[in-house]
A and B are shown apart, each in its own frame.
Chain A
Amino acid sequence: MIALLAEVPYWGQSLLRVLGGLVAVLLPAGTIVYVFLFKMMSFMQSRLGPMEAGPYGSMQLFAEVGKWLQKEDIVPDRADARIFKMAPVIVLVSTFLLVVVVPFGPEAWFTDFETGVFYALAVSSISVLGILIAGWSSANKYSLLGGLRAAGQLIAYELPMVLAVMGVVIQAGTMNLQKIVVAQNTGSMFGIDAIGHPYVISQFFGFIIFMIAIQAELTQAPFDMPIAESELVSGYMTEYSGFRFLIFFIGEFATAGVFAMIASVLFLGGWGVPFTWFGWTSVDDVANWMNFVGPLIMFTKMMLLVFIIMWIRFSYPRLREDQLQRFAWKGLIPVALINIMVTAILKVVF
């Protein structure tokens, strides 16, 4: 967008970026909530889901948001009020920071970081802080247990996530997310460049590990023990009500969307189509209309990945905390390390 908006003054650019960030986070989040949480889940469970608000219940989310906004903002007596109020915001901010580096088109991005991958992985772990302080400041035993579980879980699964991304970084030879997209769409496999070279094929194990790790980072079932409604009532969110709960709720789905965007950038070729389809050779050749089609392609890929995340969420029971840790440390991390090693060797050989 920098290039597109070169004529706009700085304050205008900043404003547009903030609005763009809001759209890029909240629009997918709302769509995910409606399409997957309300409808797909209902169909899987042989029921209709919301049908009253708007045609086929399409306005249900607005109704829910309206409901939450009307509710009283309750802060428990013994809670650490300032921190208690801050926690949901921190969780959401980490999502907004995450979307900053995601490229949506050849020139449609918020910022173009050389070390975008590094930045994304770093800011994604800010949400742990929010969750931990939410659990701690609520002055509730269930919240505390949920917060501690979340902290342990998110830290454990950050490692396989980072290691899975390492494979992609080695293959692409860059940490810039835009260049990773370009590398996938200009690449070729065994001399065939009809579909480019999406890393989901050559980094298949990396992709699987990454998806499992983000499932855990998002605390979706089977890794939802921080919330575990049958054990901990609602985990770290137990004491939240009204719009603060809404922020947690939206944050959960927004983060799912943004993580899916990053996964689609890293493994599915992001906004791009294989450049050979239109005879492009580098990112400079890409036609301007890709700045508008690119986000749509990205959105489609994101929805596909979110579909997988939600599908697993709705069909699996929950692991136990120690089983989850064992799975991360004894299963995912060794496999991810082997994946890096093999990738590095092959990169040198070819």
Chain B
Amino acid sequence: MTMLGDRQQLSYIASQAADARLNLELETEGMTLNIGPQHPATHGTLRIIARLDGEQVVWAEPACGYMHRGYEKLTEVRTFPQVTTLVNRIDWLGSFANEVPFILAAEKLMGVEAPTRAQYIRTILFELSRIANVSLFLGDLGVQLGAITPVFLAFRDREYVLNLIESATGGRFHPNFDRIGGLKDDLPAGWIDETRAVMKKLRSFCDQIEDLLFGNEIFQSRTRGIGVIPRDVALQYGLSGANLRASGVDWDLRRDQTLPMVWDKADWKVWTHPDGDSFARCWVRLQETRESTKIVDQLLGAIPSGPVMAKVPKIIKVPEGEAWVSTENPLGEMGYYVVSRGDLGPFRVKIRSASFNNISITPWLLRGVYVPDIVTILASLYFILGDIDR
């Protein structure tokens, strides 16, 4: 036998013990179903270990880490401007929104603030990435429940938003557009009118999805009363975003904290739902997409003129200190705790991503549900694997 390192040996022993425990339990308990890491329902490599009694879940646990890429560690060997390339890939459906809190944290440490025009454009792109992200959720929801048509509508209409993001930033999925002190470029000509037209399309997409899915009796019977998260449990597990608001907690970081962003310049509403079930979570997301299109529409008309980049040195050295900035990302609260020792790159970065906390509730939530409801609940919790594993 080859010699194993201490850590490898420990993990080997641990895996053996886990197998033994599982075998022991297999004889007395029902069937253990391994959903994932390669399973059509988990759109990524999340693995849910569920012990079943018939089709009822007795015990379930998410096993994550199959896609861990070590971004927190990687940031320590990058310079500050380079980090955006990494954090882009955390929640890959709403990449621009990932860059913003990190850049804001760095700006906070440096004591610079982006010009107003840059703040407006940031907020607009932030909301566009939310729309791109959540519109795919709305389509995917149908597939998870067996309706194959909505997802194609979602892909069609998300494409318009991605085109907008691409024409402004140059990247469809990974814009890498945010800079410390502002933005890389100004908006291209004609972008604002185009965005207005697309927002109109997206609003009609929301209506379409509402007709196709949310009004459907089967959809309602599959989601109403399924996976109910009461208000206090949601708070205990540290849920955030739409999952928390669907449990009746009126909490939205866009409104509740003051950042150098311009959400307060637009008139919009934070939607909550009292039920806390799967339907409520989906419904809140649908309404949020509509609100986002409203925010974008209002901000487009109010973009002031001016530079998009503040005066920052060519070589960015962030002064010593620590900063925590979090924003309301498409999936929930996303925050970065940045520690700097005055070097070119961060000394340590802690990433708080929404999905990781959101799926921590699954062992509590999946107990006692049926196998089909696992899919409904996971779909309605809405996670992105990159956001869980980082």
Which residues from chain A sit less than 8 Å from chain B, CB to CB?
41, 44-47, 141-142, 145, 221-222, 224-225, 228-233, 314-323
Contact = CB atoms under 8 A, between A and B. Distances in A.
A292 B262 CA distance: 74
Contacts of B222: 317-320, 323
Contacts of B66: none
Contacts of B216: 316-317
Q: Say what secondary structure dominates the interface of chain B.
A: helix
A222 B218 contact: yes
B152 A224 contact: no
B145 A45 contact: no
Given A46-B152, A47-B152, A318 B371 contact: no
Given A318-B222, A321-B55, A145 B371 contact: yes
Interface string B194-230: 0000000000000000001100101101100000000
A129 to B, nearest CB: 22
A222 B213 CA distance: 13
Contact of B146 (A45, A145, A228, A321): A228
Given A45-B152, A46-B156, A317-B213, A230 B221 contact: no
A221 B147 CA distance: 8
Given A46-B153, A320-B372, A321-B55, A230 B218 contact: no
B311 interface: no
B145 A317 contact: yes
A328 B375 CA distance: 23
Contacts of A44: 149
A141 B144 CA distance: 19
Contacts of B148: 41, 45, 221, 314
A231 B218 contact: no
Contacts of B97: none
A230 B222 CA distance: 14
Contacts of A225: 146, 372
B55 A318 contact: no
Interface in B46-63: 55
Nearest to A234: B40
B39 A318 contact: no
Contacts of B149: 44-45, 314-315
> Which 3 A-B residue pairings sit nearest by Cβ, starting from the closest?
A318-B146, A45-B152, A317-B145
B286 interface: no
A229 B373 contact: no
Nearest to B221: A323
Interface in B351-372: 370-372
B31 A141 contact: yes
A195 B382 CA distance: 54
A122 B203 CA distance: 51
B147 A231 contact: no
B153 to A, nearest CB: 7
7 contacts: A41-B148, A145-B33, A230-B144, A317-B147, A317-B216, A320-B370, A320-B373
A149 to B, nearest CB: 8
A41 B148 CA distance: 9
A229 B40 contact: yes
A230 B370 contact: no
B146 A224 contact: yes
Nearest to A222: B218
B134 interface: no
B374 interface: yes
Interface string B132-159: 0000000000111111110011001000
A41 B149 CA distance: 8
Contacts of A316: 146-147, 216, 218
A66 B145 CA distance: 32
A317 B218 contact: yes
A316 B143 CA distance: 10
Nearest to B153: A46
A231 B41 contact: yes
B362 to A, nearest CB: 16
Contacts of B41: 230-231
A240 B145 CA distance: 23
Contacts of B147: 221, 315-318
Given A45-B148, A145-B55, A317-B216, 20 more contacts: A41-B148, A44-B149, A45-B149, A47-B152, A141-B33, A221-B147, A224-B146, A225-B146, A231-B371, A231-B372, A233-B40, A315-B147, A317-B142, A317-B145, A317-B146, A318-B145, A318-B147, A318-B218, A323-B221, A323-B222
A44 to B, nearest CB: 6
A224 B31 CA distance: 23
Contacts of A221: 146-148
